[in-house]
Amino acid sequence: MLLINVIIRLSIDTFFMCFVQPLNAKNSMDQNSPFYQHVLTRVIKHYLRDLTNFEKSNPAYSLVSNLTWKYFFKSRAFIQSHNIIELSQVEDVNDSEGVLITVSCRPKIHDLIIFYVPNIPLFGSEPYFYVEYLTTLHSLLLLQGFDSPAIFINKFPEICKESPLEYCLKVFIESLIKIVSENPNSKIVLMGDSLGATLILNYLSIKNNVFVNDAFNDLNNMIVSKDNDLNPFAVLLISPIVNFSKNLEDVRCSDYLGQSTINNYGSFYCTDISKEQFSASNWKLVEMWNRIVPNGGMVITFGDEELQSNEISEMCKIAFETNRVKIVKKANKGHCWPLMSFLTEETQDEKEDSCFLFAGMLSRMVLYQTENYRDPERSHEPMNLLTIDDDHL
Ligand SMILES: *[C@@H]1O[C@H](CO)[C@@H](O)[C@H](O)[C@H]1NC(C)=O
Ligand SMILES: *[C@@H]1O[C@H](CO)[C@@H](O)[C@H](O)[C@H]1NC(C)=O
Ligand SMILES: CC(=O)N[C@H]1CO[C@H](CO)[C@@H](O)[C@@H]1O
């Protein structure tokens, strides 16, 4: 029923936009994307006003509901005869709550585990949104030479949608401790989008004592009291939100994530938005980033049309000086472009482009550090998936 609502909504919006907004008047982001993307961003923008009201009876709920995405995933996988994803298997896990993607026919010892932190206010409690995208990435990791990669999507309780950073971090750290202690020899990569990416940055700054702050001491004790090394090997961030300062004038931005949504995020996520530890765009010292960026490196990707594009650029310039950060700035794209492209591009190649890119980067960052790859009996050599001629960016 909810799904039908959205479909009706989508078609009404499409109908209106065909009249109200002629194609040649679209902004550069929409001109360079399929029409679907134009429609989807308009619908998301409309519903983001309801952000804190995603009750199950709200039609907007079906946009995020894991039931919707589970159904989409199953039917699309069937239509495509499980093409390339046939080796990846998806299961719900109960002890550290979330969804786990693994390989059915490979050893239980994972050489690589991607710990995915969802965009908490939207999809934190509905992890199925990410399953299709991450399953595609997972199968490409297999082709890139990983022996038994796994991807864990962390599920956050509903209450986290409107909880401060500290509470979300607690959920995150509890799951991370479980994953790390169950897989002591795996290389852990933290990956997240939007507010999830922000949470990862905040986590790394607290873990590495970048700020001295009483409120964080409890969390720090929790991290330190465990024997496990909870520093990830590497990090991959998609469009982190880096500035929570309120801007009262409504900045004009063609992207779906606008200032009012960020104000909204900030009002529950930050106990005090003026404090510098919440907004990574205020972290101006290379010394800070030297502590934050893990040894294996950090990839930061964003679109040049998103609201905080300049702030992320400036932040990246400082982080770049650590020599361990790679920046991927995509032209004519908005907030979380890999996911938006995946949902709306028409050809399979274009949809999966970001998965190819990320799988290639992860293999360059991590593969040589895994034992299986160096072992003559167990190694799977990478296939060269990226060709120089393809224009990936
Ligand atoms: C997880 O919990 C659900 C319902 O509580 C149950 O049906 C399922 O068997 C459990 N899965 C595992 C692996 O324990
Ligand atoms: C953060 O946003 C505020 C309001 O838009 C702006 O005044 C400030 O310069 C921004 N901070 C940085 C570091 O870009
Ligand atoms: C993994 C997960 O969160 N599953 C939930 C998806 O949504 C349905 C309906 O809301 C729940 O019953 C599942 O537990």
Residue 357 CA to residue 347 CA, distance in Å, equals 16
pLDDT at 266 over 80: yes
Q: Which helix (H) or strand (E) holds 40?
A: helix 35-48
Best residue among 245, 306, 308 to mutate for probing ligand 2, ranked by most atoms within 8 Å of CB? 245
Spell out the domains of the chain, with CATH numbers in brackets.
Answer: 88-246+255-374 (3.40.50.1820)
The reply to whether ligand 2 has any atom less than 6 angstroms from the CB of 243 is yes
What pLDDT digit, counting tens, does each position of 40-56 carry? 777 777 777 666 566 67
The reply to whether ligand 2 has any atom less than 6 angstroms from the CB of 281 is yes
What phi and psi values does residue 145 have, to the nearest 5 degrees?
105, 0
Nearest to 123, CA basis, from 177, 195, 57: 195
What pLDDT digit, counting tens, does each position of 86-125 carry? 677 888 887 668 999 998 888 888 999 999 999 998 888 8
Looking at residue 62, its amino acid is S
Q: What global pTM score does this model have?
A: 0.84
What phi and psi values does residue 244 have, to the nearest 5 degrees?
-100, 5
| Distance in Å, CA 331 to ligand 1 centroid | 44
Q: Which two tokens stand for residue 277?
A: 């530890």
Length of the chain: 393
Nearest to 310, CA basis, from 232, 251, 366: 251
The reply to whether ligand 3 has any atom less than 6 angstroms from the CB of 155 is yes
The reply to whether ligand 2 has any atom less than 6 angstroms from the CB of 282 is yes
Residue 116 CA to residue 232 CA, distance in Å, equals 12
Residue 173 CA to residue 345 CA, distance in Å, equals 35
Which numbered ligand comes closest to the C-alpha of 92? 3
Cβ atoms < 10 Å from Cβ of 205 = 20
| Distance in Å, CA 255 to ligand 2 centroid | 18
Looking at residue 99, its amino acid is V
Cβ atoms < 10 Å from Cβ of 221 = 10
DSSP string, 210-257: -S--GGGHHHHHHHHTSSS----SEEEEES---------S----SSSS
What pLDDT digit, counting tens, does each position of 167-179 carry? 999 999 999 999 9
Q: How confident is the model at residue 19 (pLDDT cuts 50, 70, 90)?
A: very low
